Structure 1
């Protein structure tokens, strides 16, 4: 009976007239778009007040008073595209408790149905300003996002605590910011304070364009030290340090001299400065999340608490400050045209020239670190060896050109990748750096040492000394600057390295500079520092695995470990029938396999599953080094030497 009824119903539907049948769905029309920005002044000055005293809950409370000229729909944006992040990373999920008022009346705001970073606020007739209140729920643990607030310090990034009116260039929106800090805390920022903190701990700053505000983060802390890096200089340059404890603030005369030398070596290289003052903001902490973010008149730098106190163990990453300082010239003053935007929401960034913005900055950051004496020549060479080996092992080059990796921060958003050497992450940093080493040594060789990439840097960055008004550039401008140092087919040179699939990493600069990359069974001191700071053991150049205790945290694509079936998240429980104690057991097994020819027997767990695997490898332990080549030139040594 049921089957008969279904047949009857189907027959009845078939006899319906065509006009009675249901039409297929079509898309609803899109709502009106958020207005694009106009280059016209916003009427009035926004008052922005942040209370950052709730250290227990790590919550910042925000109040804004936004002038309005007429009733209607006021659209407010929360910044989405954060300069230096190269992607849409504004942490809007951490905004909560949003309330809008006109006088004492609460207004029924609504989020835009398409643009999740836009809020519509109905401005009533007669209102001259709108009050906005919300909280920024600063992460308490790194799984929630970057930790920026601890019991001892604060990294206040203004983009996290501010809404701004849509429809205007952000340089045309004036903001008067203030912040209330915990009692006794000191602070540093590129912003100019109007005076000392009031009795309630509130500091008021002068009005600035909204774009300048977001480019001027504030570091504050219970333990604070300010060091002059250019005594008697034309403009003030300071190193502003906050730390977890007072002992981490002690800076030796030699350490201070090295940081002062960064400034002088940069001036000799670039022949200019593009700020009226500059602040290296440096957080030394095991609680605050690490950071390196460029700004025009300052930089955010957060690293381990032992940066100064265990100087001999922290060479790895010591180029952070020089890298971010270089961005004041390359990236902030001189910026790719497709990375410049009139606001932080309406025009998505395009990252096509990050191999200049970041790749060249990576190059100059490391060169300046060596020239300043913060690295010895050996430490600089060991760093270059490790980075060259990393890029040489990027097997994803077979399918994905370097140029395409500039898109990674937009769609990956700097999340961890399961197979980074196959997927390729932001390789424009390190492989871009190798391209600029290649170019530098080529210019030096063909000009017989009379020209170098230093000349290119001066050509690009030396104009308008003292001005911090951004200039933009395109690919053709980079080629022109290279041609100015040495006439050559630079467009072909760059495209051959940016667009190709397959082949090896661009290591010609090493050979031309007098060195070649080799592998030995001995770690360099820099490699040991790298492992110690990250609390890992790195066998990625041997069997292709990185361990943290017994846990596998990375496996190289198509490596011996990969072919044997190891994957990220596995744990090694035993080796050759013996209980796994530590990574030294695996190092011994790799060495034994090299001599015996027998596979490495591993007992591995994955969740609740045990399995035995065999890793076939005969190459032994492998760690990268640079050694002198047969080349008579030693231009790499000249590149790393300080400029007098």
Structure 2
């Protein structure tokens, strides 16, 4: 509170010269901090091959124990070791350095003092004694044991060893020029799967041929107690670990869809940028979920019953197709500003709308073409995507797709209070709809003789057998598109992806002969996901989604629930005076569409209870795609198998 009698004195105080005020304050002056990230050089680490030995047998406590020997060139007195920070496929600085503990260094058998760089906490500075020929680093990597601590990578049945999470590398050199010889000890009897070359096993100790650090990081391990491996194409394998042995049972006709996926991918791209490829797949709800691309492998997770309840879990099968596409799009052809020579140099994701957006597009198309997912499931997934941007995301008015490519760095996939307003990584889904429009522009402009398939072959399928990385820019994308069909592609991409406030991105669906419609039952994709999760999706009716207990998991900005003050974390306790149930909620929404009575909800938020009425009469609403006319449509032809069996 301000005393009104003091106001004249306050007014006088405000007239004191700034210089006089400064005389009574200590005022530091900033100095330039040398915080620039130094670029490494494209030369080999002169010390020789690094030995990396990991003991992964402590599954009860979920601890990886690491001993790493870094050889030195003669006369080395200072060494900087880096923990990988900017991780490929994460598009951000996600290296979980906080999980590294009990860090110790020795040289000549004696402890070496170290300090962390205060401007780069991923860097360890070591002062070495004279005559040191190697440094031995020992530490533990503690896998999270609950989901609240991070992604669980080790259970008592399986593990997912990612080398970058439990190793260091010397600063100053391209990671492809640092040689490493890896060894892992696993629990007795466990199977070990990876794309690394030269695997040998003695008891439970597994070794591989020396490789470069970049290839090592790009070659993770899945290992497990219950495991099986199948060949599913020329030089391609499906390597699977599971929570329980019975979950590995897959019908032959369903296993065949993985082989068809490989065949369709080969037909699409017309070249390979790997000598061999392995799908690493975990059937689990104990280890953390993942979908992560690599050049010669991919890390994937299905729900535990995805093999044994194949049809019911059809909605869950897409990640395999998406990550396979990344071997061409993302690992081989890579945006120039996203490629980095090491894991310290910051990444930029300005072209993720191609890297991820077209991968999303082709992941859907190849899943349908191969039968890995039913066509009806893919249409349901596309309907869901179209619905988001038709009426479920007001954030498009202020934020373009291009800006969402910064989200991996800004948000690190943390949940948003109102994702429909804030947006998230929309470069996946909205971009996939834009690429469908591009496909239809090409097909209509060439009388059906060409399509985005031709772009994929020209842009991703070049240089068969090249296993490196070929970078590209925005102009390269435009040039390649014009090589398929002349059009103002620069304006098209700039408008659709780099300009906010654009029309709903459903033109591609409409050009492909389909339209977005609304029904009172969920489409096959939404039904499968809801049946599995036991939740209730009401985004396009009441404007929120509920988990199996009636707790709000997301709220649509400016929807009926939002306008009534219902937010994430609130719990629907009762509907119309009866205890909450999913069926009771659906019945109330249906009844309100036929009557004049509003929907009465008892809502608990924290310790407070509130009776809230929603005057909503629109009934249950779920998105579907349906043909706009009888007969086969362009979208049907796009999703149809292309390769000969």
1:28 to partner: Cα distance: 4.9
**Equivalent residue, structure 2, for 1:545:** 544
Counterpart secondary structure, 1:261: helix
State how far apart, in whole Å, the 2-side matches of 1:535 and 1:642 are. Answer: 33
1:522 to partner: Cα distance: 1.6
Counterpart secondary structure, 1:24: coil
**Equivalent residue, structure 2, for 1:7:** none
Q: Deviations over 1:269-291 (max 9, x none)?
A: 00001001100000001101110
State how far apart, in whole Å, the 2-side matches of 1:547 and 1:64 are. Answer: 48
1:29 to partner: Cα distance: 4.9
**Equivalent residue, structure 2, for 1:51:** 55
1:532 to partner: Cα distance: 2.1
**Equivalent residue, structure 2, for 1:495:** 494
**Equivalent residue, structure 2, for 1:97:** 102
**Equivalent residue, structure 2, for 1:30:** 33
1:516 to partner: Cα distance: 0.2
Q: Deviations over 1:382-401 (max 9, x none)?
A: 12111211232211001111
Contact 1:75 1:120 survives alignment (8 Å): yes
Contact 1:564 1:616 survives alignment (8 Å): no
State how far apart, in whole Å, the 2-side matches of 1:194 and 1:369 are. Answer: 31
State how far apart, in whole Å, the 2-side matches of 1:244 and 1:493 are. Answer: 47
Contact 1:243 1:305 survives alignment (8 Å): yes
1:413 to partner: Cα distance: 0.8
State how far apart, in whole Å, the 1-side matches of 2:511 and 2:20 are. Answer: 81
Counterpart secondary structure, 1:276: coil
Counterpart secondary structure, 2:141: strand
The answer to whether residue 564 in structure 2 is matched with residue 564 in structure 1 is yes
**Equivalent residue, structure 1, for 2:142:** 137
State how far apart, in whole Å, the 2-side matches of 1:460 and 1:585 are. Answer: 52
State how far apart, in whole Å, the 2-side matches of 1:48 and 1:340 are. Answer: 25
Unaligned ranges ≥5, structure 1: 1-9
1:255 to partner: Cα distance: 0.9
1:124 to partner: Cα distance: 1.2
1:18 to partner: Cα distance: 12
State how far apart, in whole Å, the 1-side matches of 2:476 and 2:411 are. Answer: 29
Pairwise mapping of residues 453-532 of structure 1 onto structure 2 (< 5 A)? Answer: 453-532=452-531
**Equivalent residue, structure 2, for 1:344:** 343
**Equivalent residue, structure 2, for 1:384:** 382
Counterpart secondary structure, 1:316: helix
Q: Deviations over 1:133-184 (max 9, x none)?
A: 0000000011100011001101000011110011111011111111000000
Pairwise mapping of residues 56-135 of structure 1 onto structure 2 (< 5 A)? Answer: 56-69=60-73, 70-135=75-140
Q: In the superposition, relative to structure 1, how do residues 619 and 318 fare at CA in structure 2: closer, same or farther (>3 Å)?
A: same
1:455 to partner: Cα distance: 0.3
Counterpart secondary structure, 2:426: coil
Q: In the superposition, relative to structure 1, how do residues 24 and 153 fare at CA in structure 2: closer, same or farther (>3 Å)?
A: same
1:616 to partner: Cα distance: 2.0
Q: Deviations over 1:483-505 (max 9, x none)?
A: 11111111111111012222433
Contact 2:334 2:470 survives alignment (8 Å): yes
1:30 to partner: Cα distance: 2.5
State how far apart, in whole Å, the 1-side matches of 2:153 and 2:37 are. Answer: 31
Give the counterpart of 1:224 among 223, 227, 233. 227
State how far apart, in whole Å, the 2-side matches of 1:428 and 1:414 are. Answer: 13
State how far apart, in whole Å, the 1-side matches of 2:21 and 2:279 are. Answer: 73
Q: Is 490-499 or 579-588 further displaced after alignment?
A: 579-588
State how far apart, in whole Å, the 2-side matches of 1:193 and 1:333 are. Answer: 23
Query: How many pairs are equivalent?
Result: 623
Unaligned ranges ≥5, structure 2: 1-12
Q: In the superposition, relative to structure 1, how do residues 632 and 489 fare at CA in structure 2: closer, same or farther (>3 Å)?
A: farther
State how far apart, in whole Å, the 2-side matches of 1:590 and 1:512 are. Answer: 34
Contact 2:66 2:141 survives alignment (8 Å): yes
Q: In the superposition, relative to structure 1, how do residues 30 and 365 fare at CA in structure 2: closer, same or farther (>3 Å)?
A: same
State how far apart, in whole Å, the 2-side matches of 1:517 and 1:307 are. Answer: 29
State how far apart, in whole Å, the 2-side matches of 1:307 and 1:19 are. Answer: 69
State how far apart, in whole Å, the 2-side matches of 1:23 and 1:595 are. Answer: 72
**Equivalent residue, structure 1, for 2:607:** 608
Counterpart secondary structure, 2:92: coil
State how far apart, in whole Å, the 2-side matches of 1:597 and 1:487 are. Answer: 56
Q: CA-atom RMSD, angstroms?
A: 1.9
**Equivalent residue, structure 2, for 1:252:** 251
1:76 to partner: Cα distance: 0.7
Contact 2:546 2:552 survives alignment (8 Å): yes
**Equivalent residue, structure 2, for 1:155:** 160
Give the counterpart of 2:358 among 337, 357, 360. 360
State how far apart, in whole Å, the 2-side matches of 1:77 and 1:219 are. Answer: 25
**Equivalent residue, structure 1, for 2:45:** 42
1:219 to partner: Cα distance: 0.5
Q: Deviations over 1:224-267 (max 9, x none)?
A: 1110011xx3xx10000001111111121111111100000001
Q: TM-score, with normalisation over the residues of structure 2?
A: 0.94
1:536 to partner: Cα distance: 1.3
1:581 to partner: Cα distance: 3.1
Q: Deviations over 1:49-73 (max 9, x none)?
A: 1000001100000010001223332
